[in-house]
Amino acid sequence: MIPRWLASLHGRLILIVLVCVTGVDGLTGLLGYRQATREAAELMDAQLVEIAHVLATTAGRAATAVVSADGTAREAHRYHKRLVFQVWQPAPRPGGAPQLVARSDTAPDIPLEALAALRGDGYVTLPWHDGDWRFYVAGSDPQGLRVVVGQQGVVRNKLAREVALNALYPHLASWAVLLGLLLVGIRQALTPLRQLAEQVRQRSPDHLVPVQVEAPPAEIVPVVGAVNTLLVRVEQALERERRFTADAAHELRTPLAALKIQAQVAHIADDAAARQSALRNVIRGTDRLAHLVEQLLTLARVDTAGGVFAAERVDLAALAGEVVASQAGLAQRREVALELALPEVAGEGAWASGQPELLAVLLRNLVDNALRYTPAGGRVVVRVAAEPGGGWRLSVADDGPGIPPEQQQRAQERFVRLASSAEEPGGGSGLGLSIAGRIAQLHGAALAMGPGLAGRGLTIGVVLGAPGGAVAR
């Protein structure tokens, strides 16, 4: 299970920064420590050389005097007894023994092993006395003097560690300061996210204004934009829901009241003829109410289909045939001739880009509207025709009363019913053209109205693009 503090972006960033900073600083600190110890060792080697040169010069001036400490001298430094030296001069005559010119009070009277290990100048590390010692031998003096200077290994290592640690302490302090600054910086950098979260938390269905973050970083800008886009969509969805509820309540109230009245008439009617007439009115009212409910649900479904959706290849010829076949019963009851006019496509189909279910709803509403407003004996023609510039025109024409040009735009509004001698009062829902117009809008098109058959009635059509595009609101 992931720890709770790691579930937040703040905790993850702190962990990443902590690991990275600690790793990099640990590596650089280790390399610095090793470099400092090497430098300290080289510095102490250089000191051995300088001491040897000073001793050679001093002993050379002193000629044959032997300089030796008596072992009772006061220790001047804590590392005083950790340094030894000897100065030897060549034998005065061939075959004689070299003479000790000077030595430290910690050095023996006999030659140190380093003199035997090195014939010329150089360094050598040898075990001696109480541990490993580092020796330097200088044997190139013009007077033939040989000088050996040694330093205890423990002392050298301790001094090197102290030098390295003294150089490392500021580095550790800077690491702690840097880490603290990074933690503060991360928290400060995440302030826009906290502001965004707080503003989103303050939003409610009645308060969906866009969120605003002061000086948002480039990485937060897309998030703010996406949240604001979502808020707009939610507000639009809520508005559609409120509008649908209000429209449904308004439009259902009248037919329900009429049904109630007719049912009451049938209940109190004394004679059978009046009762039968009231019951027939109840049945017709129920049919109209069912049609209204169906249209309301269709409108709600179309409204929620807003946005971008993938386009499909739709055969408008086949779709028109299916819709005409489904509306044949209504045409027969209305005594209206329903015809289908298709282009000469040699069996290839009239392919367009769109959403087949929605296009079927569009055409069905146009045909239903035409059949309801065309008088008995009239004609309704569903036509699919190729457009000169590409695409296809899907249209429905009738020879009914038509719609005056000044009212054509208003006729596409919701719940608008225009007077018609062919349609009984209250028969239409006033939603058919509104639904068709909304579907056309979703397909990037618009309903176009013009004269109907033989200069009478009305033609309503929509032009749809060829396959291959995206359908966008």
Long-range contacts of 76-83, Cβ-Cβ distance < 8 Å, separation of 24 or more: 79/155, 79/159, 81/106, 82/151, 82/152, 82/154, 82/155, 83/51, 83/149, 83/150, 83/151, 83/152
Which of 304, 324, 345 is the last residue in one of the domains? Answer: 304
Is residue 6 assigned to a domain?
A: no
SS3 458: strand
Residue 71 lies in a domain: no
**Shared domain check, 274 and 410:** no
Select from 304, 326, 345 the last residue of a domain: 304
33: Cβ contacts below 8 Å, ≥ 6 apart: 164, 165, 167, 168
407 belongs to a structural domain: yes
Q: Enter the DSSP assignment of 336.
A: -
What pLDDT does residue 378 have?
92
What CA–CA distance (Å, rounded) separates 432 from 361? Answer: 10
65: left (phi over 0), alpha (psi -120 to 50) or beta: beta
Query: Looking at the structure, do residues 250 and 376 belong to the same domain, yes or no?
Result: no
Give 77's DSSP letter: S
- Could you give the C-alpha distances from 375 to 233, 407, 425, 432, 461, in angstroms and in order? 43, 20, 14, 18, 21
Low-confidence spans in the chain with pLDDT less than 50: 63-77, 79-81, 346, 421-426, 469-473
Which pLDDT score is estimated for 69? 43
* Cα separation, 162 vs 425, whole angstroms: 106
Using CA atoms of 193, 198, 199, 205 in order, give the dihedral in degrees to the nearest 10. 130
54 lies in some domain: yes
Q: Which residue spans within 231-328 are E strands per DSSP?
A: 312-315
The β-bridge partners of 85 are 149
Residues 292, 375, single domain; the answer is no
Chain centre to alpha carbon of residue 61: 83
Residues 28 and 161 in one domain: yes
Q: What single string gives the DSSP state of each residue in 358-396?
A: HHHHHHHHHHHHHHHHSPTT-EEEEEEEE-TTSSEEEEE
Please check whether residue 274 lies inside any domain of the structure: yes
The alpha carbon of residue 24 and the mean position of all alpha carbons in its chain are separated, in whole angstroms, by 29
- Within a domain: 191: no
Q: 282 phi and psi, to 5 degrees?
A: -60, -45
Residue 84 CA to its chain's centroid (Å): 71
Same domain for 455 and 345, yes or no, is yes
Task: Please indicate, yes or no, whether residues 83 and 159 belong to a single structural domain of this protein.
Answer: yes
Task: Report which residue type is found at 190.
Answer: L
**Whole-number Å distance between alpha carbons of 223 and 228:** 9
Assigned domain for 188 exists: no
- Residue corresponding to tokens 């503090």: 5
Number of domains in the chain: 3
Q: How far apart are alpha carbons 253 and 255 in whole angstroms?
A: 6
Q: What is the pLDDT of residue 436?
A: 85
Using the 3D structure, point to which of 304, 326, 355 is the last residue of a domain.
304
On whether both 400 and 449 belong to a single domain, the answer is yes
Q: Are residues 300 and 380 in the same domain?
A: no
Which CATH number characterizes residue 445's domain?
3.30.565.10
Q: Give the per-residue pLDDT at 309.
A: 57
Please report the pLDDT score of residue 459 as a whole number: 93
> Is residue 269 located within the same domain as residue 361?
no
pTM of the predicted model over 0.75: no
In a domain? residue 178: no
Full DSSP string of 109-141:
SSPPHHHHH-SSSEEEEEEETTEEEEEEEE---
> Do both 313 and 246 map to the same domain?
no
| Domain encompassing residue 339 | 307-473
Shared-domain flag, residues 291 and 231: yes
Q: What is the dihedral of CA 269, 271, 277, 280, to 10 degrees?
A: 70
The answer on 157 and 242 residing in a single domain is no
